[in-house]
Structure 1
């Protein structure tokens, strides 16, 4: 009887050792697995819809051949249950990313970040086309006016009131958040430029400075010329001269502009034809950059009244009409 008991105890002890050894092997195997990279050669997107369970995630990863030995993943979250608390969202998986890094990303909700650049010198119409085409976003054609109204501006005149910059969003986000950021940034930049304006600036309000900056933006091909172009317009306003700038005419032409300003367009008396109206246009004609806002506030200390394009992005500046006509003949009429 004693021999049988001893034999049973020995068998139990042996089985315990084997079970313990197997447990250690499983644990170490799962830990190694957590540090292994996903099966990826290029970045890939992963969308987790609301209500997606951890088991559904594992099945999806296995179906896409992103992981092997899915059972190890299930054991891993038994060891660390926090790793199973995945969040819905749109994620980016990258080559070299480990299983553990993926789970941390999903549990922390570190979604893929999308970017959009709203370019200076473009109009609200052009920006709307860009925003409407963004992937994984919600867009409302009235978003610019909505943001204006939410900030106490009932003018329904959004042109120029939003700052050009690169903005970020996550999948499913309403584009209104980007437009709101753009509006607030323009208010900040405009107020700073207005506070730093020259004392003798021929502009009465920040909105007039915004209009002037938008015209400067459209006329500038070479960044260093912004203060000089600003000076030309400021000097002309001080002398009671019309601005006579083509971009304002083009803006006023709208859809009828097909690449050339017609003689009829130059003769037409519209609110944006600065060959026919005195002073500034009623609204900005584009989104000005911070540099154009600053140039509008602080024109160069020069007495130029004219400039003409050299067809390379730069301009020739002149003090008199005679000098200007000579430059026009050289660079525009090839005489």
Structure 2
């Protein structure tokens, strides 16, 4: 009975519009923005959720109740006249200040959901990624309670390592509400494999690494050692030179990663002397896994380092480094830029 009354009411409204020659006026009203473009600058878009199973009439009432449209019935009639008002898609949509009723309807009818975004920065660690993923309101967490190794196995049972560090590409990822954290990780894993495959195919000859995964390990160290893009090729050359001569890498970020929660904010002599599988002051060659998520530039620099005869570098306290060929030169640079501060 209620449905019958609804359609009778719609027919009456349509009849009145047609009788009065007001279809054009209704179309004009349906396309008018809620506020002017000047006023729109004063407001931010808001998010509007369309639940599963909603129909056009329910959507109209919800939009009106939350203040996004006026004249619920007239809006529904216009939507029935000018678009498929009952063909709507569930999801979370952005409603912009300058939207017209038609633009809101168009978005929902066509499933043009709001795209959220999450940025994973270069040099971040997988534990930080998991924290980010777990705290996003519109991302569904399905990995809660799983170990890092469980997650890697679910994404790729044939991954080069079950330790997740370094396997995911740091970037900005966009997604709609209801996307799972595992889906986002799969996307980042695929991006890293694709990037690594492309850069590995273009690598220099004669590098002291024999597999793409080793490139990830070394690139993660380069990533953590410098944030200056123009320096990465030189930093990589230092480590390549050391590996070629059998010299230990002696990278401070590897000490920090190996200490984990025991890191005290400063590297002490006892930390340098403490053995961990990642302490490159104590082990020969590369650590067993990457220590962070390297970005494109760090991987590229690692696989195509600059040609140099540098074996040392020290921070110049401005985000860059002083490079040295000999230990004597290095010690002078350390005295000038570190001990003399």
Query: TM over 0.5, yes or no?
Result: yes
**2:177 maps to what in 1?**
171
Contact 1:307/1:318 (<8 A) preserved: yes
How do residues 1-335 of structure 1 correspond to structure 2 at under 5 angstroms?
A: 23-38=19-34, 41-80=43-82, 82-139=84-141, 140-141=143-144, 142=146, 145=149, 146-153=151-158, 155-334=161-340
Report the alpha carbon displacement of residue 165 of structure 1 after superposing the two structures with TM: 0.7
Structure 1 distance, partners of 2:304, 2:72, is 65
Structure 2 distance, partners of 1:330, 1:92, is 55
Report the alpha carbon displacement of residue 22 of structure 1 after superposing the two structures with TM: 6.0
Report the alpha carbon displacement of residue 70 of structure 1 after superposing the two structures with TM: 2.1
Name whichever of 82-91 and 227-236 sits farther off.
82-91
Contact 1:147/1:180 (<8 A) preserved: no
Give 3-state SS (helix, strand or coil) of 2:339's partner: coil
How has the CA–CA distance of structure 1 residues 221 and 23 changed in structure 2, closer, same or farther, with 3 Å as cutoff?
same
Report the alpha carbon displacement of residue 29 of structure 1 after superposing the two structures with TM: 2.9
Q: Deviation string for 1:76-99 (max 9, x for gaps)?
A: 134246133211110000011111
Report the alpha carbon displacement of residue 56 of structure 1 after superposing the two structures with TM: 1.8
Q: Normalising by the residue count of structure 1, what TM-score does the alignment of the two structures yield?
A: 0.89
Contact 2:152/2:164 (<8 A) preserved: no
Contact 1:143/1:176 (<8 A) preserved: no
Name whichever of 106-115 and 154-163 sits farther off.
154-163
Report the alpha carbon displacement of residue 148 of structure 1 after superposing the two structures with TM: 4.3
How has the CA–CA distance of structure 1 residues 133 and 21 changed in structure 2, closer, same or farther, with 3 Å as cutoff?
closer
Structure 2 distance, partners of 1:234, 1:200, is 10
What count of residue pairs does the alignment treat as equivalent?
317
Structure 2 distance, partners of 1:207, 1:21, is 69
5+ residue gaps, structure 1? 1-18
Contact 1:305/1:319 (<8 A) preserved: yes
Contact 1:144/1:179 (<8 A) preserved: no
Q: Deviation string for 1:225-273 (max 9, x for gaps)?
A: 1010011001111111101110000000000112111211110111111
